[in-house]
Amino acid sequence: MAGRLLRLEELSSSEVADLDREKTAFFIPVSPIEGHGPHLPLGVDYYNAIYFAETIARITLEKRPDFDVVLLPIFPLGTQVYRQPGSIGISGITLYRIIVSLGESIASSGFRHIFLLSGHGSPRHIVATESACLKVSWKFKVKMHDLSGALAFRFLTGEFVDRISAYLPQPLTQSEKELLRKDIHGGWWETSMMLLLRPDLVKDSFRSLPSTQKGTGKDSRDPGYFGSPSLATAAFAQASMRVMIEEGTGTVERCLSGENVLSETISPFYRVLPLRPFFARNAVVILLAIIVLVIAAIIYLT
């Protein structure tokens, strides 16, 4: 029997064993606990990842009733977190290894479709999860994809601004569009998301917080956020998530239909080698090898 939304922690081993390997999709939310300024809870990314995973899982079932969907509990993990009291971060290598282990646990049982969802948009976090998905996909010849990294990059670079504006009751002004392109942490979008998902955790002070930009140097104090939280509304969150969900569910549908969606799930961040989890270690090893070869050559020539 297909068409079910299942939660892994509620299933028995025999129930998992009975699932169709080709017609079951696993969704794994992964996001850290991280500071987002004085007005938002530490769980912003955590709540966003859960919402993103559960919404895409539900819509996937509506589009593909021939599949079962299995949701995993969220893993509150991430790297390159904003350093504020309460933030919990791990190294990129540790995150990579954990995601690989998660994927291997599912893929080794023969399941073919695994999707990772995150609410955390830091480059090192994205590259670590993408690298892990590629590793599992290659090792087990399955389809494991991070649905969030490329979407986060496209959102942060302003690709979705006009589409979001079209879904709002009142379109964004040009100045608002410019502010949104500079909204990267705890600002307009993330405050809006919490007004939609957990308004009880949003401090009323957000309405009077000034806009800030990273690296402007206008204030020696660390505000803990970069963006324009005072512009936040639940309606804006609904419009932005409508665009993100459309993109995410479209990618899942194409993947389940057998298409190669790698270009949709690997962000431009992945091409930046220093962001790779093992880059520093590998660079040291290569440098030491070069030094040894140079010393050996000098000794040989003298």
What is the average pLDDT across 185-203?
A: 97
Distance (Å, rounded) from C-alpha 103 to C-alpha 112? 10
Of residues 94, 56, 55, the one with CA closest to residue 75: 94
Distance (Å, rounded) from C-alpha 93 to C-alpha 15? 33
First to last CA, the chain: 76
Distance (Å, rounded) from C-alpha 217 to C-alpha 288? 39
What is the average pLDDT across 189-204?
A: 98
CA atoms within 13 A on the CB side of 198: 17
Of the listed ranges 79-88, 170-179, 212-221, the least confidently predicted one is 212-221
pLDDT digits (tens, 9 = 90+) for 129-176: 999 999 999 999 999 999 999 999 999 888 999 999 999 999 999 999
Of residues 23, 273, 264, 33, the one with CA closest to residue 147: 264
Give one DSSP letter per residue of 15-51, joined into a string. Answer: HHHTS-TTSEEEEEEB-------TTS-TTHHHHHHHH
Kindly state the percentage of the chain with pLDDT values over 90: 82
What is residue 106's three-state secondary structure? helix
Q: Tell me what pLDDT residue 248 has.
A: 97
What are the φ and ψ backbone dihedral angles of 185, each rounded to 5 degrees? -160, 115
Kindly state the percentage of the chain with pLDDT values over 70: 97
Q: Tell me what pLDDT residue 217 has.
A: 46
Q: Tell me what pLDDT residue 92 has.
A: 96
- Given a cut of 70, whether residue 202 has pLDDT beyond it is yes
Q: Tell me what pLDDT residue 215 has.
A: 63
Q: Tell me what pLDDT residue 113 has.
A: 98
- Given a cut of 80, whether residue 204 has pLDDT beyond it is yes
Distance (Å, rounded) from C-alpha 78 to C-alpha 40? 18
Helix (H) or strand (E) holding 7: strand 5-7
Distance (Å, rounded) from C-alpha 104 to C-alpha 132? 10
Of residues 20, 15, 6, the one with CA closest to residue 61: 6
Q: Using an 8 Å Cβ cutoff, are 151 and 247 in contact?
A: yes
Q: How far is CA 231 from the centre of its chain?
A: 24
Distance (Å, rounded) from C-alpha 115 to C-alpha 80? 22
What is the average pLDDT across 200-212?
A: 96
Segments of 103-254 assigned E as strands: 113-117, 143-146
Buried b (16+ CB within 10 A) or exposed e, 166-201: eeeeeebeeebeebbebbbbbbbbbbbbbbbbeeee
Distance (Å, rounded) from C-alpha 160 to C-alpha 163? 5
pLDDT band at 281 (very low <50, low <70, confident <90, very high): confident
Q: Tell me what pLDDT residue 104 has.
A: 98
- Given a cut of 50, whether residue 271 has pLDDT beyond it is yes
pLDDT band at 115 (very low <50, low <70, confident <90, very high): very high
pLDDT digits (tens, 9 = 90+) for 98-114: 999 999 999 999 999 99
What is the average pLDDT across 54-73?
A: 97
Q: Which domains are present in the chain? A: 5-271 (3.40.50.10310)
Q: Tell me what pLDDT residue 216 has.
A: 55
What residue has token string 């093992």? 278
Task: Share the mean pLDDT of the chain.
Answer: 93
What is the average pLDDT across 53-72?
A: 97
pLDDT band at 221 (very low <50, low <70, confident <90, very high): low
